[in-house]
Structure 1
Amino acid sequence: MIVKFSKHGKGKASGVLDYLLKEKGSKGTLVPRTHAKVLYGDPVLTEHLINTTSHKTKYKSGYLSFSERADEISEADKKRIMQEFEAVIFCGLENDQYDILWVEHADKDIDDAHPVGRLELNFVIPCQELRSGKSFQPYYEPADQKRVNAWKNIINSEVKTIKGEPLSDPNDPERKRLVNPYSSNAPRPTPFDMKAYTKEDADKDEEVIANPPSRKLLEEAIKRRLLLDWQEGIAMNRRRVLGRLEQWGLKINRGNSEKTLSVTSSKLTDKNGKPMGVRLKGGMFERGFDGLRFQPHNKEREHSIYDHRVSRNERKQSDETLLATGIKIKEAYHQERYKSSATLEPLVSDRVVEQELEVSKPTTTENYYKSFRCSGIIKLDSC
């Protein structure tokens, strides 16, 4: 399982909700999306909160993506994963201080042998603390990435499929690829069929690299050409990768991380004339890349010597410590930022709610908001 957060969040709620819950029908109209279902939350309430907030960033969305299919993970484990994710994101907040919508997708990689696709747990979070109305940032990468990644690693080590098999571990060395075939801005799947890659295709990619029309196309062309070089025994180590990029007229930016490379082309600029960077991800772009390690026989030998399961157990202990520390820090931040909301009086008194709805005091977040919707404060068709 991996965790991904979207960069979108400033538009109306219809954009993200239509994607999650609807698809185009045969006549071009939107119809309910096949293999999509709401697991938790209320789309009407989430839409209302997003569309009425005055904050610039209106929502944060993303997904938990699994290699396993939706029917290979129990409903109890799905519930556990969602609840623990909320505990990691909303550290120190009560249930009525935030809203989250969970939608399951099971339409990826469906075929005749597998009528149920891979599991995706999609989430949408309005960027507003509900008691005070203050802005709320569910995920800020520099501050939250380590904590979320630690939680992800723990879930991958603890949760098992209904057959008792562990979840796929994205940190397994055998899962490392020479390049990440997915552009961050490209629709999936990105065209990366190297078996059908001809010399004519290579020439076209070199033209794209020389005169890139967009970052997405430049990124894909670079990766395909380097993969072809590797297959032909040319780009076999870090030095040769850098030399190839420079040969194509690309500038290698300083400050590259241990895991990625960033390049720019003088022919690809933004509206201000500044070169636009392209970040390249994958084993080929790591600082210590040696192509020989990616040869099948060498990967098998390396994996037999290096017992990844032992390393996984050691990492789990480190992840548990990192997660506990991260939660403590984030919890203190949330409690300090929203401390004036801790004893906020309810918008509608319990007596009024009981008189108008003839029900007892709400005991869950779902019923709490339903009381407001059905009393006219928020309009809901199902009331």
Structure 2
Amino acid sequence: MIAKFSDHGKGKASGVLNYLLKEKGDKGALMPRTHAKVLYGDPVLTEHLINTTPYKSKYKSGYLSFSERADEISEADKKRIMQEFEAIIFCGLEGDQYDILWVEHADKDIDDAHPVGRLELNFVIPCQELRSGKAFQPYYEPADQKRVNAWKNIINSEVKTIQGEPLSDPNDPERKRLVNPYSSHAPRPTPFDMKVYTKKDADKDEETIANPPSRTLLEEAIKRRLLLDWQNGILMNRRMVLGRLEEWGLKINRGNSEKTLSVTSSKLTDKNGKPIGVRLKGGMFEKGFDGLRFRSHNKEWEQAVYDHRISRNERKQSDEELLATGIKIKEAYHQERYRSSATPESLVSDKVVEQELEVAEPATTETYRPSLRPRF
């Protein structure tokens, strides 16, 4: 499972809600989306809160994406995952201080053998604390990413499928890819079937690189051509990758991270004539790229897989400590920011309420405390 947050969130609620719950029919009219269902929340309430929020950021949306199919994970585990996600996002807040809508999608990778697709748990959160009316930012990457990633790692280590198999671990070296096969600017999946990639296709991609019609097509062409060179044993380290990009007339931008490369083409510019950058993600673009590590028969690769698996307990302990610390920091922040939003004192004392309950229900000693917001 991976957790992703969208950059969208400044428009009307109809955009995100239509995507989650509807699809276009044969005549272009919107109809209920197949394999989509609301698991928790009220779309009407969420839409109203988003559209009436006075702040620039109206909502935060995203999804928890699984390699497993929707019918391979129990409803109890889905509920647990959603509840725990809320706990690490809304640290210290009570149920009536926020709103969240959960929508399940199960329409990815459906085929004749698999009528139910991969599980996605989509969420939408209005960016407003409901008691005070103050702005609320559910996720700010520099402050929240480590906490969310630690929780994700713990869930992947603890939750199992209905068949008893552990959830797929996105950090497992076996799952690492040479290139990210998804363009962030194009519908998924982008075309990366290298089994049917011919010389004619390669020539066409080189023409696209030389005269790129768009950022998306340039990104896809670069990745496919580099994958071909790697398969042919031509590109086996970072220096070779950089040399190949420069050979194609691309400029390597400064300030690249340890994990990505950014390039520009003089033939692809914005309306002001400024070159448009293309960020390349995947193992091939990391600073210490070694092509041999991606060969299944390579001993270094096998050692990396082995080390990852035997250190599972140590990594889980580290994640638990990181999560506990992150929650404590976020709780303190929320309590300080929304301090004036505390629940007002009851007009009737707890003692009087308890006496009335004892009279009404003498057969039980359990005190009833009404929930501020129903949970699942």
Give the alignment's TM-score, normalised by structure 2: 0.89
Please provide the CA RMSD for this pair. Answer: 2.0
Deviation at 1:284, TM superposition (A): 0.5
Letter in structure 2 aligned against 1:363: S
Deviation at 1:275, TM superposition (A): 2.5
Deviation at 1:309, TM superposition (A): 2.0
Matches within 5 A, 1:126-165: 126-165=126-165
Q: Which moved more, 1:321-330 or 1:194-203?
A: 194-203
Q: Which moved more, 1:246-255 or 1:182-191?
A: 246-255
**Partner Cα distance (1:212, 1:325) in 2:** 47
Residues 50 and 59 in structure 1, CA contact (< 8 A), matched pair in contact too: yes
Deviation at 1:307, TM superposition (A): 4.0
Task: Map Cα deviations across residues 11-66 of structure 1 (whole Å, 9 max, x no partner).
Answer: 11111111111112233221111111111000000000011111111111110000
Give 2:315's aligned residue: 315
* Pair 1:363-2:371 in alignment: yes
**Partner Cα distance (1:173, 1:25) in 2:** 41
Q: Which moved more, 1:22-31 or 1:41-50?
A: 22-31
Deviation at 1:300, TM superposition (A): 8.7
Task: Map Cα deviations across residues 217-255 of structure 1 (whole Å, 9 max, x no partner).
Answer: 111111011011111221111110011111112222222
**Partner Cα distance (1:57, 1:43) in 2:** 18
Q: Which moved more, 1:40-49 or 1:228-237?
A: 228-237
Task: Map Cα deviations across residues 167-225 of structure 1 (whole Å, 9 max, x no partner).
Answer: 00001111111111101121001011112222222222222222222221111111011
Residues 263 and 279 in structure 2, CA contact (< 8 A), matched pair in contact too: yes
**Partner Cα distance (1:263, 1:301) in 2:** 28
Give 2:229's aligned residue: 229
Q: Percent of counterpart pairs with the same letter?
A: 88
Task: Map Cα deviations across residues 278-337 of structure 1 (whole Å, 9 max, x no partner).
Answer: 211111111111111112211696258724322222111111111111111111111111
Q: How many residues align?
A: 354
**Partner Cα distance (1:108, 1:305) in 2:** 28
Deviation at 1:109, TM superposition (A): 1.2
Matches within 5 A, 1:70-85: 70-85=70-85
**Partner Cα distance (1:53, 1:345) in 2:** 27
Give 1:54's aligned residue: 54
* Pair 1:29-2:38 in alignment: no
Residues 131 and 344 in structure 1, CA contact (< 8 A), matched pair in contact too: no
Deviation at 1:362, TM superposition (A): 5.9
* Pair 1:338-2:338 in alignment: yes
Q: Which moved more, 1:17-26 or 1:273-282?
A: 273-282
Matches within 5 A, 1:1-383: 1-298=1-298, 302-303=302-303, 306-343=306-343, 363-366=371-374
Residues 89 and 139 in structure 2, CA contact (< 8 A), matched pair in contact too: yes
Letter in structure 2 aligned against 1:191: P
**Partner Cα distance (1:7, 1:304) in 2:** 33
Residues 22 and 33 in structure 2, CA contact (< 8 A), matched pair in contact too: yes
**Partner Cα distance (2:304, 2:258) in 1:** 25
**Partner Cα distance (2:12, 2:135) in 1:** 16
Give the alignment's TM-score, normalised by structure 1: 0.88
Residues 294 and 301 in structure 2, CA contact (< 8 A), matched pair in contact too: no
Task: Map Cα deviations across residues 240-275 of structure 1 (whole Å, 9 max, x no partner).
Answer: 001111111222222222211122222323333332
Residues 209 and 248 in structure 2, CA contact (< 8 A), matched pair in contact too: yes
**Partner Cα distance (2:68, 2:227) in 1:** 28
**Partner Cα distance (1:366, 1:272) in 2:** 52
**Partner Cα distance (1:329, 1:208) in 2:** 49
Residues 173 and 303 in structure 1, CA contact (< 8 A), matched pair in contact too: no
Structure 2 unaligned regions, length at least 5: 347-367
Structure 1 unaligned regions, length at least 5: 347-359, 368-383
**Partner Cα distance (1:123, 1:63) in 2:** 6
Letter in structure 1 aligned against 2:50: I
With over 3 angstroms needed to count, the CA separation of the structure-2 counterparts of 1:304 and 1:275, relative to structure 1, is closer
Residues 157 and 166 in structure 1, CA contact (< 8 A), matched pair in contact too: yes
